Amino acid sequence: MTERALLEARVAAARVARLATIDAEGRPHLVPICFALDGAVLYSAVDEKPKRTKRLKRLENIRGHPEVAVLVDRYDEDWSRLWWVRLRGEGRILAGGSERDHALSLLAKKYAQYRAEPPTGPVVAVDVREWRGWSATEESPGEGGPP
């Protein structure tokens, strides 16, 4: 398995990631996300979980500064099983259309919660341009339990 294929497999199998955006003052903003990966595009929906406001900072930040980073990682008390993958790319907001519908379909396949209560908000699409990763060992995603 190539290094890129290993990184993609780890990201695709993960259940949660962190999305980093930059606000108008240049400060980082970090939130946990559910996501689906489709080739070099990562999708995350604004779902129906309770929010403090409908004007989400991540969306405002992407509109003003579309460069984003996504971090997917695995923590284990056995530090030989640690790894992380960082994706960098350009974020886009999908308010409607066929790409948004495709993203929601991918998310529903991955998360039962999205099948039960489909998101009605916009979708964040990240066009991934850079993949970086680290692992405590060189094990493949299938070795030693879940990736």
The model's pLDDT over 101-116, given as tens digits with 9 standing for 90+, comes to 999 999 999 999 999 9
Give pTM, 2 decimals.
0.89
| Tokens representing residue 89 in the block | 């790319």
Least confident of 40-44, 50-54, 129-133: 50-54
> For residue 110, which phi and psi values (nearest 5 degrees)?
-85, -35
Question: Which amino acid, 122?
Answer: P
Q: Counting every residue, how long is the chain? A: 147
- The answer to which of 12-16, 40-44, 46-50 has the lowest mean pLDDT is 46-50
Helices (H) and strands (E) in the chain, counts: 4, 7
| Among candidate residues 93, 99, 84, the one with its CA nearest the CA of residue 136 | 84
Buried b (16+ CB within 10 A) or exposed e, 55-71: ebebbebbeeebebbbe
**What confidence tier does 38 reach under pLDDT thresholds 50, 70, 90?**
very high
Q: How many CB atoms lie within 10 A of CB 24?
A: 9
CB neighbour list of residue 33: distance below 8 Å, 6 or more residues apart: 16, 17, 18, 19, 44, 70, 124
Mean residue pLDDT across the chain: 90
Place of tokens 């971090």: 71
For residue 55, what pLDDT band results from cuts at 50, 70 and 90? confident
Which CATH architecture is the domain 3-133 placed in?
Roll (2.30)
CA atoms within 13 A on the CB side of 77: 0
